[in-house]
Structure 1
Amino acid sequence: MPDGLVSAAEANRDFSKMLRDVEGGARITITKDGKPVAVLSPADPSMNLDRSSTHRRMMELLAEGLPLGFRGGVDRDDVHSR
C-alpha cells in the first residue's frame, strides 16, 4: 500500500498490511466520511520508547519531595472567598 488515503473501514480490515507498509516508510492518512482524521507514519527513531528509566526517576523525585513553590499567605477563607 503506497502513501495515500484509506477509509476507516479499510484501515480496520487491513491494519496488519498497513503496519508493514509503514515499516517500509509509507505514510497513510485514515479518513472517516471522506475527511482525514489520523495519519499512520513511521515512528521517529530518536524517540525513546523506554519509559522505565523516566518512571524510576519520577518516583525518586516524588520520594525526595518536590518544592511546590508555595510561600504561604493563603488561608482557608482566602481560598473560599469570591
Structure 2
Amino acid sequence: MKTIGAYEAKTHLPKLLDEVAAGEQITITKHGHPIAMLTPLPNKKSADVSSTIQALRALRQEMSLGGLSVREMIEEGRRF
C-alpha cells in the first residue's frame, strides 16, 4: 500500500486515480497521520442486455391501458 501526503495527493490526483483504477490502495496523510484511503471499487457485474430486453418485453405484455390509446390518455389529461 502506498502512502502520500495530502498536498501531493491534491497535486497528482489524476495519476493517483489511474493507480487506484489499476488496483493500488493509497493512504493519504495529513501531517503524518492517515486521514483517508483511496481504494478501487469492487468489480460490478454489468447487466445482461438481452435478459433485460426480454424482461421489458414480458412486462409490456402484462401491462394494459384498459382499452385506451396513448393519444386518448393524453387528450384526457389536457381537459383538466
Q: Structure 1, residues 29-65: CA drift from partner, whole Å, max 9, x if none?
A: 0000100000001002249xxxxxxxxxxxxxxxxxx
Q: CA RMSD in A?
A: 1.9
TM-score (norm 1): 0.51
Identity rate of aligned residues, in percent? 38
Of residues 4, 7, 12, the one that matches 2:10 is 12
Of residues 16, 24, 27, the one that matches 1:26 is 24
TM-score (norm 2): 0.53
Structure 2, unpaired ranges of 5+: 46-80
Which structure 1 residue ranges, 4+ long, deviate > 6 Å from structure 2? none
1:46 and 1:16 map into 2 onto residues whose CA distance is 22
Match of residue 38 from structure 1: 36
Greater CA radius of gyration, 1 or 2? 2
What is the number of residues matched between the two proteins? Answer: 46
Structure 1, unpaired ranges of 5+: 48-82
